[in-house]
Amino acid sequence: MNRKIGLAALAAMLTAFAVAGGAATAPGQTTSLTVYSGRDEALVKPIMDRFTRETGIELRVRYASSTSLATALVEEGRRSPADVYWSQEPGTLGLVAARGLLRRLPQKTVGKVPSRFSTPSRRWVGTSARSRVLVYNTEALADRELPASIWGLTNVRWKGKIGIAPTNASFQAFLGATIHLYGENRVRTWLRGLQANDVKFYPNNTTVVQAVGRGDVQVGLVNHYYLYNVLADNPGLPIRNQWFRAGDPGNLVLAAGVGVVASSSKVGAAQRFVDFLHSRWAQRFIARGPGAAEYPLIKGVARRPGLPALATIKGPPYKLGRLSADIAPAVRLLLELGYLR
């Protein structure tokens, strides 16, 4: 008797689960978009939710690293279920675009942002800008002790005190740009020097900034806005961002960007999503939402108070459109030297 009830309950559960699973994978009656998001769920979920509320378009979002999503798009080719690819980083977008997997965007869309945050072929467009910085622990260091350039980090003075996130797409983009500007040999030597300095690896920018805050390491190479994200949870942490001297590759300004997948049959809805990311609300959220501090790209939306103006950040002379060619050598180098393993 008991066994029969148990079996019945199991059968009921299995059925319910199968139905729920079916519902989750079946195309909905309402319009729905599949978004591949290299941007972190914790950061962008409110934007996704708001889009659905405003437009009635359901979103199915695959959150993963920007690099693995680019790999997936290439692997899937024309069979990709994705409609939109929102990446942390222009190199991955450019790489997917170079294989003909992104649609050309309207001039109107690309014209909304400064020209350095898109390319002439209009396959992707920036949604926010960010700068590479050195985050440091203010209890351990005074700002005059900090290196003027990334090249100074191989000095033995920094042994055991540097944290990086080698799997992070922005770190890889920074490295790709540096390879382009200074040559692979110089970068290889620098990376070997960091290894000789016992550089510590973390899974992502957030954990680098946290480690600097705890004092596990004294400095970290990250994107500028993670500082604000970590401080929002723990305002007392002794951490601050510092830029290197003018023109240093460590000051590279990057962009998060978005593209519409070429095989998508929902171009209209996908375009609405892209437009939404450029809306005042979304731009303000990216710039000044809770724990957010990226640079907005649309005129009339102000950056977070306390941030230097984007124009005052003296990055290296480098065009973001080049990254699609430069990021792969960077990844190869990281694999070769054991940074990725």
Q: Which positions touch another protein (CB under 8 A)?
A: 10, 13-14, 16-18, 21, 24-25, 34, 40-42, 60-62, 64-65, 67-68, 70-72, 74-76, 79, 81, 92, 95, 167, 172, 201, 203-204, 206-207, 210, 213-214, 216, 230, 233-234, 237, 327-328, 331-332, 335-336, 338, 340-341
Nearer to another protein among residue 113 and residue 169 (C-beta): 169
Residue type, 41: E
- CA 166/CA 150 separation, integer angstroms: 15
Whose Cβ is closer to another protein: residue 24's or residue 156's? 24
Is the torsion defined by CA of 110, 115, 120, 126 positive or negative? negative
Q: How far is the CB of 246 from another protein (least distance, A)?
A: 30
Beta strand pairing call for 125-137 and 239-242: antiparallel
Question: Measured from the CB of residue 59, what is the shortest distance to another protein in angstroms?
Answer: 10
Cβ-based nearer residue to another protein, 140 or 146: 140
- What whole-number distance in Å separates Cα of residue 35 and Cα of residue 28? 15
Is residue 242 within 8 A of residue 143, CB to CB? The reply is yes
**Maximal C-alpha separation, the chain:** 79
State the nearest-atom distance from the C-beta of 142 to another protein, in Å: 24
Task: State whether residue 154 is helix, strand or coil.
Answer: helix
> What's the closest the beta carbon of residue 127 comes to another protein, in angstroms?
20
Task: Please say which residue, 113 or 164, places its beta carbon nearer to another protein.
Answer: 164
CA distance 88 to 321: 14
In the bound state with another protein, the residue whose beta carbon lies nearer, of 42 and 196, is 42
The residue among 84 and 110 lying less far from another protein, judged by its C-beta, is 84
DSSP calls for 67-126: HHHHHHHHHHGGG---SEEEES-HHHHHHHHHTT-BPPPPHHHHTTS-GGGB-TT-S-EE
The least distance separating another protein from the CB of residue 327, rounded to whole angstroms, comes to 6
Closer residue to another protein in complex, CB, 106/215? 215
Please count the other Cβ atoms lying within 10 Å of the Cβ belonging to residue 252: 27
CA distances (Å), 209 to each of 91, 231, 264, 340, in order?
24, 10, 38, 20
